[in-house]
Structure 1
């Protein structure tokens, strides 16, 4: 009986050693292995124009602040049942949007611009064009 116990104990010890070794290898591969994500640090930047959205909903611009690179087209989407307005005085923009209507504007001028709604002065948006 003692011999069986000692054989069983050695078997369990070997099995646990193998399990620990397999876990250690899996952990090393998962955490310390080579990252397959390409390094873009030396790559050229894309010249493709960007696009973003601003949703007019529940009498708010969502988001209320937006930072974009010059050349970005922003699509304004009215998701309220009422008519809204996008007014950016510094850019001479004044566009009405009926319910479920969309309108896009390309921001080519850098600076910080305040957008508001002539129909509801609580609706405010800050657009920073870099």
Structure 2
């Protein structure tokens, strides 16, 4: 009789294991675990416009040169306690920035552009738009 009980217990344990495995597979399929969906986030991010920052600090543009693709938005951030100016003569841009102020410009035209500060001629930046 003991032998029959142990056989029954082993059979019941195997049956429960199989039932749990089948349930888990059904749950995974119901939740979409078996579906393959194309991940297009990489394609979206490669088409998304870029953005870059230039910090005006210690009477310098940081970085002093920048190469970007056309369509990139550059945010100029004045971190000096004095007012600065962003002057891009070739693009007819002339923007003043007070201390801790930010301003953005989107470079849509390809070329090499000199950026200066009308208030301090030591501040120079070259932006190359490809």
Instruction: Classify the TM-score, shorter chain.
Output: 0.5 to 0.7
Give structure 1 regions of 4+ aligned residues with deviation exceeding 4 angstroms: none
Q: 2: distance between equivalents of 1:54 and 1:101?
A: 12
Whose Rg is larger? 2
Task: Give the corresponding residue for 2:61.
Answer: 61
Q: Deviations over 1:97-118 (max 9, x none)?
A: 0000000000000000000000
Name the residue aligned to 1:83. 83
Partner of 2:30: none
* 1:47 CA drift (Å): 1.1
Alignment TM-score, normalising by the size of structure 2: 0.66
Gaps of 5+ in 1: 1-42
Distance in 2, matches of 1:89 and 1:49, equals 24
Which consecutive residues of structure 2, in runs of 5 or more, have no partner in the other structure?
1-41
Pairwise CA RMSD: 1.3
Q: Secondary structure at the match of 1:90?
A: helix
Aligned residue in 1 for 2:120: 120
Give the TM-score taking structure 1 as reference length. 0.66
Equivalenced residue count is: 88
